[in-house]
Amino acid sequence: MIWITPPTLAAINAMGKATLVDHLGIVFTEIGPDFLRATMPVDHRTVQPMRLLHGGASVALAESMGSVASSFCLPDLATQSVVGVEINANHLSSTPEGSMVTATVSPIKVGRTLHVWEIKIHRPDDRLICVSRITIAVVARR
């Protein structure tokens, strides 16, 4: 297990209240020994003008998941924080409005000051639509 501070779905979802996570309808749904899973609706908040999932919404989902995952890998949330320093995404397929996407974040490296995560986003038919990688820096809380 990679979690130093054991996460709960209630704690994770509470972290997102009144943030972009809440606005986009992102809900964390599963915790594994080395992964987190969340869903996001493809609706008026997350589509582009062609009524397909906006690539920026996929990136916001990926960044949110990487940041949340990193926060539960810290020994002391009172003195440490996490910040994204780089993210990339490959958009592999489209998803129409009215769908729900599911994303899974898993670690590539969880070090003392640097975390790298992979996020895979799937459509309801399990088709992979986006692969993202985020680098997170662990910093002193100000």
Catalytic residue numbers, as ranges: 63
Q: 35-48 burial, b for 16+ CB within 10 Å, e for fewer?
A: bbbbbbbbbeebbe
Cβ burial of 133 (10 Å; 0-12, 13-18, 19+) is middle
Cβ–Cβ < 8 Å for 132, 64: no
| Number of neighbours of residue 88 by Cβ within 10 angstroms | 11
Cβ–Cβ < 8 Å for 108, 118: yes
